[in-house]
Amino acid sequence: MYIGIAEFVGAYDKILHRCSSHSSCQLVIFVSCLNIDALCASKMLSSLFKKQLVQSQLVPVFGYSELKDHYQRLDENINSVIFVGCGGMVDLESFLEIDPQENTQGPLDEIQLDKTDVVQKFKKEIFVLDCHRPWNLDNLFGSQCITCFDDGTVEESLTEQKKAYYKLIEIENELGDELDDDSDSEEEEDDRETQNEDKDDDDDDDDDDDDVVLGKRSSDELNPKKSHKQRKREFHNLEKVLQEYYSQGSTVLNSLSVQIYSLLSGIGETNLDYLWLCILGVSSLDNSFPLVYNRLLPLLKDEVKRLTPSEKTKTPDSLNLEIRPDYSLFLLRHTSLYDSFYYSNYVNAKLSLWNENGKKRLHKMFARMGIPLSVTQENWIYMDNNFKRDLGVLFDKNLDRYGLQDIVRDGFLRTFGYRGSISASEFVESITALLEVGNASNALENLTTANVSQKDDTNQGDEENREYEEAEEQKINRILKTRQKKWIANFWSSWDVLDNNMDILSQGIKHATFLQRSVFETGVAILEKRLVKHLRIYRLCVLQDGPDLHLYRNPLTLLRLGSWLIEYYAENDEKQLLPLVLATLDETSDTYLCAGIAPRYPRGLDILQQQQQKTLNNFTVAFQQIAAETGAKVRIDNFETSIIEIRKDDLQPFLERLTLSGLI
Partner 1 sequence: MYGDLANKLILEAKRTQQLSQAGFNKQQLPVYQDELVRGILKEVGSLKKNVDYLREQQLTDQDNKVAQCQYVVAMLSMERNKRCLLAYQKMRSEMLDSMVWDNNGMEFSSAISNHPNLSSFDSSVLSHAEQEYLKEYAQLLTELKSGELSEIDLTGMLQPPSDVFIDVRVLKDAGQIETEYGVFNLIKDSQFFVRQSDVERLIQQGYLQKI
Which residues lie near partner 1 (CB under 8 A)? 22-25, 46, 49-50, 53-60, 70, 73-77, 485, 488-489, 491-492, 495
Q: Which residues contact 56 (CB under 8 A, 6 or more apart)?
A: 19, 25, 27, 28, 29, 46, 49
Which is nearer to partner 1, 33 or 332 (by Cβ)?
A: 33
- Nearest approach, Cβ of residue 426 and partner 1 (Å): 25
- Nearest approach, Cβ of residue 81 and partner 1 (Å): 12
- Nearest approach, Cβ of residue 637 and partner 1 (Å): 18
- Nearest approach, Cβ of residue 402 and partner 1 (Å): 46
To the nearest 10 degrees (0 to 180), the angle between helices 8-19 and 256-266 is 80
Coarse DSSP helix, strand, coil percentages of the chain, rounded to the nearest 5 percent? 60, 15, 30
The count of other CB atoms within 10 Å of the CB of residue 167 is 15
Which is nearer to partner 1, 25 or 169 (by Cβ)?
A: 25
Q: Is beta strand 408-415 parallel, antiparallel or unpaired with respect to 321-327?
A: antiparallel
As a whole number of Å, the CA-based R_g of the chain is 27
Q: What is the DSSP-derived secondary structure letter of residue 63?
A: B
- Nearest approach, Cβ of residue 405 and partner 1 (Å): 45
Which is nearer to partner 1, 416 or 492 (by Cβ)?
A: 492
Which is nearer to partner 1, 41 or 154 (by Cβ)?
A: 41
Which is nearer to partner 1, 69 or 410 (by Cβ)?
A: 69
Which is nearer to partner 1, 66 or 640 (by Cβ)?
A: 66
- Looking at the DSSP bridge assignments, the partners of residue 412 are 323
**Distance, first Cα to last Cα, the chain:** 31
- Nearest approach, Cβ of residue 479 and partner 1 (Å): 17
- Nearest approach, Cβ of residue 55 and partner 1 (Å): 5
Residue 436's closest CA among 548, 337, 338? 548
- Nearest approach, Cβ of residue 269 and partner 1 (Å): 17
Give the containing element (helix H, strand E) for 125.
strand 125-129
Report DSSP letters for 237-254, one per residue. Answer: HHHHHHHHHHTT-BEE-S
Q: How far is CA 15 from the centre of its chain?
A: 25
Which is nearer to partner 1, 17 or 50 (by Cβ)?
A: 50
Which is nearer to partner 1, 47 or 458 (by Cβ)?
A: 47
The count of other CB atoms within 10 Å of the CB of residue 273 is 17
Which is nearer to partner 1, 126 or 543 (by Cβ)?
A: 126
- Nearest approach, Cβ of residue 33 and partner 1 (Å): 9
To the nearest 10 degrees (0 to 180), the angle between helices 225-246 and 203-218 is 140
Which is nearer to partner 1, 96 or 238 (by Cβ)?
A: 96
Q: How far is CA 262 from the centre of its chain?
A: 20
Give CA–CA dist 384/367, Å, rounded.
16
Give CA–CA dist 62/45, Å, rounded.
19
Q: Where are the beta strands (DSSP E) in 563-658?
A: 580-586, 591-597, 634-635, 643-647
Sign of CA dihedral 209, 213, 218, 221: negative
Residue 208 burial (CB < 10 Å; 0-12/13-18/19+)?
exposed
- Nearest approach, Cβ of residue 54 and partner 1 (Å): 8
State the number of CA atoms in the 13 A half-sphere of 484 facing the CB.
Answer: 18
- Nearest approach, Cβ of residue 124 and partner 1 (Å): 13
- Nearest approach, Cβ of residue 326 and partner 1 (Å): 32
Which is nearer to partner 1, 66 or 91 (by Cβ)?
A: 66
- Nearest approach, Cβ of residue 58 and partner 1 (Å): 4
Q: Is beta strand 146-149 parallel, antiparallel or unpaired with respect to 125-129?
A: parallel
Which is nearer to partner 1, 343 or 495 (by Cβ)?
A: 495
Give CA–CA dist 398/387, Å, rounded.
14
Q: C-alpha angle 228/234/235, rounded to 5°?
A: 85
Determine phi and psi for 379, rounding to 5 degrees: -60, 140
- Nearest approach, Cβ of residue 435 and partner 1 (Å): 13
Which is nearer to partner 1, 181 or 499 (by Cβ)?
A: 499
Give CA–CA dist 573/486, Å, rounded.
38
Which is nearer to partner 1, 408 or 489 (by Cβ)?
A: 489
